[in-house]
Structure 1
């Protein structure tokens, strides 16, 4: 089931079938839920696109010059925004269905039926579930394109869609079980991540964007070898490896 990418199966997958997610701790503050993240994306992505159009940020983010840990954070964060923007383009806020438990079975089935494409420019068809699938593919295509530009080792992003499809099949099995809806609500209340389509996408987009940021950091370290700046950047490597979200690097810049 895990194919050639065992490291890519998210830890939360174990929580889908009865086990608690590995990183869930009773006294840990609950992370924002899927709807809260989507609301944040709906605000941030249009601003980011405007900033990119006006030249206020490097675009694509994978080409940004990295000088410190905060630049690494920005590349990771902005690359993920670039991938998620396709879903935010869905009309009438249809992206909210990604986190709607009652629509998951329909959405997962539609995704598995949809023929993958290689485009980063798409035309929506007006069929909501098909359009969601088209937007997901476009996001993966964008990340693969950025990975090539950033010099990510091919084995770290090749086969991504095949891996994602396996996750969708697992999620489909989970939603077909009796009591999936109440179990989903319970997991969300406990700060866990049920196999909502949103979390499937968010997990893979986050991982790929992080690989792109890491490749940019490694490239910069190579260019700055034996300098004081290189030492500071090297110190950012373990922090990036341990980070689960771009904001985990906030405030750790070394100027």
Structure 2
């Protein structure tokens, strides 16, 4: 299986740049970027929400994708105390996943915390999904592309919960991180789904700009950017050498992680 390392030993894997640098590096980056982003938004130095940004180049599309994900992740950075650290602590994953599954989903994008770190993390995760759904509506994302998001995520959490109950899950997690793979840490689950949904928002914003003729950039270049989005795993990869089209590869050369 390709889920969380449950796969054939022959199956090669690669991880996106953020996970290769480590989940804790993601948290450190968020701790620096979120306050700066919020300040820039408050001061009107950037378009907020990012899905409303005008698009004229691949750089604009990358910004919409990156900033939309950042807007969703900010809720987790707001969890009081060191609650966010639970997202990457292997010894606490089983308890955290249990707490998430017990927490009732909510539809709010403005939230209050309870003082229970694990419950607060779950509340923040739901708020991030709510924000992404809000942005999807603003950007005109096809409902079929984002429907069932929470149901899908909860299924991943259940699978992750089973993974952490297996013997040796802690050492296996450390080995997967060392190999650049994606163990089912809560942060990895959230980051992966938020990234996917934020890409849908960026793609819809780009399509709308192209279809309406509102984009001031080169239409052909923007069409190429749209095609490239489907083959790109992270905003940082959108500008630079293009990845080969997976459909043009043979099975032996395809390297991916299924999450």
1:24 and 2:17 matched: no
Which 10-residue stretch deviates more, 164-173 or 240-249?
Answer: 240-249
Verify the 8 A CA contact 1:114 1:133 in the aligned structure 2: yes
How far is the alpha carbon of 1:30 from its aligned partner? 8.0
Q: Which residue of 1 aligns with 2:61?
A: 72
Q: Which residue of 2 aligns with 1:81?
A: 70
Q: Which residue of 1 aligns with 2:196?
A: 207
Equivalent residues in 2 for 1:4-153 (5 A)?
A: 13-19=2-8, 22-24=12-14, 31-153=20-142
How far is the alpha carbon of 1:22 from its aligned partner? 4.7
Deviations 1:71-96 (A, max 9, x none): 00000000000000000001223211
Normalising by structure 2, we get a TM-score of 0.87
How far is the alpha carbon of 1:14 from its aligned partner? 2.5
Verify the 8 A CA contact 2:56 2:216 in the aligned structure 1: no
Verify the 8 A CA contact 2:51 2:202 in the aligned structure 1: yes
1:237 and 2:200 matched: no
Change (3 A) 1:225 1:83: closer
Deviations 1:201-247 (A, max 9, x none): 00100000000000011111112299972122112122222111101
Unaligned runs of 5+ in 2: 242-259
Verify the 8 A CA contact 2:31 2:77 in the aligned structure 1: yes
Partners of 1:29 and 1:111 lie apart in 2 by 24
1:164 and 2:153 matched: yes
Partners of 2:174 and 2:215 lie apart in 1 by 52
Deviations 1:152-182 (A, max 9, x none): 0001111101110000000000001011101
Verify the 8 A CA contact 2:72 2:131 in the aligned structure 1: yes
Unaligned runs of 5+ in 1: 1-10
Partners of 1:104 and 1:14 lie apart in 2 by 17
Partners of 1:66 and 1:227 lie apart in 2 by 7
Change (3 A) 1:228 1:57: closer
Partners of 1:93 and 1:70 lie apart in 2 by 34
Change (3 A) 1:228 1:72: closer
Deviating 4+ runs (over 2 angstroms): 13-16, 18-25, 224-229
Deviations 1:47-99 (A, max 9, x none): 00000000011000011111110000000000000000000001223211101
Verify the 8 A CA contact 1:171 1:195 in the aligned structure 2: yes
Normalising by structure 1, we get a TM-score of 0.88
